[in-house]
Structure 1
């Protein structure tokens, strides 16, 4: 473990941490940034500790922060103290939290997923907004889903925006990434009902014949799901739109369906 104080913006460690805001550097280093005591505490409780812990030298004392420092110290991680201004440079926020960390990227291999660990799963196809991705992670955590599976060209789940929007769920929810063909082949090799949120040949989402494990498929924010993907689903359901809007936000639609599926499968009727 090393502990040091950094006061210069040009310090190599500052530059390396700041570079993690860029996807290509995250992939090269296999690291991503997370900030905030609550989020880092959730990570610690789930068994994830930052490789590098960055602390504001003007932080207020807090017992959870002391526990976090001790855990990183015991694990042999690096601890950096620096100014709020440099911390803002690292995180890209004008008013940064008092603590941030660089974590090893999580395993997102689909083949490592155990579908029997959840009655329902969320699946997002070509979801481009990191805020929506983070919201779906929070939804997966809230409903006790097995996890979130990202299909095709989704936003990077390890971007600062997605991690921040997940409110810690990036560490509590099983996350996987795959192409459509890989996902469909994996799904059909075991039990699993694929349900699409759709407007085409769909039945009302209430009281639909859901069956566990249920995989709720939500499409791109503006384009929805490709027709071929909808055709591959076991069930297509639609949500009523009472106003002028013709659809819900993708993450919101996923949340509404998740709670309906949860109620259905827990009732044991399907």
Structure 2
């Protein structure tokens, strides 16, 4: 068995940090290489029974966990092979352009799963979606999503013909999410946390904005995406 080190983007494997995402991993069809359990984990016998049933290698080793996670509160870690299913054609999905925050990315994954959208497209220079911080923020939702990455929108559009709804600022009331008619298959297109979608993106589809009070400058990306997912599901 390989000696596992702290996560590196170039490695062939990644980790779940914690019991809950590890259980989600075990319930998926991902290839699990090994599981490490701290001797103080209270449900270790139950977890060991699951691992024995699935014939998955495990060790009781808090030392290994601390070497990988560098956090005292992490009691379970699983190493899994980095691979994913590509996004399906003609399915509703979310497109994230140049998203950079791993916590935001994981939170959006969880919201997607909550609203039954299981296809995620990442475009451009984006956060490493296999990073354990993303897996943890998603609370294991990562393992139930299909994910594809494209270098730019033109490359993405060659593969997919979804109706694009671009979440951008607009002064036109007809672009309000509350007035927008939904046509499937749709893609909710969200931009970078700081800069949003670039100027000129409106050529790809329809603008959408979320009305809000003047007391706040803007909604953060996970909240805006969650509102979009909710509204589009409600209108389907």
Q: TM (normalized to structure 1)?
A: 0.79
Q: Could you say if the C-alpha distance between residues 148 and 67 of structure 1 is closer, same or farther in structure 2, counting changes exceeding 3 Å?
A: farther
Aligned to 1:23: 9
From the two aligned structures, give the one with the greater helix fraction.
Answer: 1
In the alignment, structure 1 residue 132 sits paired with structure 2 residue 104: yes
1:113 to 77, 81, 87: 87
Q: Which runs of 4+ in 1 moved over 6 A?
A: none
Aligned to 2:168: 198
Shift of the alpha carbon at 1:63? Answer: 5.7
Q: Structure 2, unaligned stretches of length 5 or more?
A: none
Q: TM (normalized to structure 2)?
A: 0.90
1:39 to 18, 21, 26: 21
Q: Could you say if the C-alpha distance between residues 64 and 115 of structure 1 is closer, same or farther in structure 2, counting changes exceeding 3 Å?
A: farther
Write the distance in 2 (CA, Å) between the matches of 1:154 and 1:121: 17
Write the distance in 2 (CA, Å) between the matches of 1:239 and 1:61: 44
Shift of the alpha carbon at 1:94? Answer: 2.8
Shift of the alpha carbon at 1:37? Answer: 2.1
Write the distance in 1 (CA, Å) between the matches of 2:46 and 2:27: 11
2:71 to 93, 103, 122: 93
Shift of the alpha carbon at 1:174? Answer: 1.3
Shift of the alpha carbon at 1:87? Answer: 1.4
In the alignment, is the contact (CA less than 8 A) between 1:54 and 1:81 conserved in 2? yes
In the alignment, is the contact (CA less than 8 A) between 1:201 and 1:236 conserved in 2? no
Shift of the alpha carbon at 1:184? Answer: 1.6
Shift of the alpha carbon at 1:71? Answer: 4.0
Q: Could you say if the C-alpha distance between residues 208 and 64 of structure 1 is closer, same or farther in structure 2, counting changes exceeding 3 Å?
A: farther
Write the distance in 2 (CA, Å) between the matches of 1:62 and 1:86: 16
SS at match of 1:196: strand
Aligned to 2:125: 153
Write the distance in 1 (CA, Å) between the matches of 2:50 and 2:125: 35
Write the distance in 2 (CA, Å) between the matches of 1:41 and 1:107: 18
Query: 5 Å matches for 1:214-253?
Result: 214-233=186-205, 235-253=206-224
Greater relative contact order (CA < 8 Å, ≥ 6 in sequence) = 2
Write the distance in 2 (CA, Å) between the matches of 1:63 and 1:177: 39
Q: Could you say if the C-alpha distance between residues 81 and 130 of structure 1 is closer, same or farther in structure 2, counting changes exceeding 3 Å?
A: same
Shift of the alpha carbon at 1:62? Answer: 4.6
Residues 56-89 of structure 1: CA deviation (Å, up to 9, x unaligned)? 13332456403332145x2xx4322212x54122
Aligned to 2:146: 174
Write the distance in 2 (CA, Å) between the matches of 1:215 and 1:226: 17
Aligned to 2:160: 187
Aligned to 2:39: 57
In the alignment, is the contact (CA less than 8 A) between 1:41 and 1:68 conserved in 2? no
Write the distance in 2 (CA, Å) between the matches of 1:148 and 1:37: 25
Calculate the aligned-residue CA RMSD, in Å: 2.0
Aligned to 1:68: 50
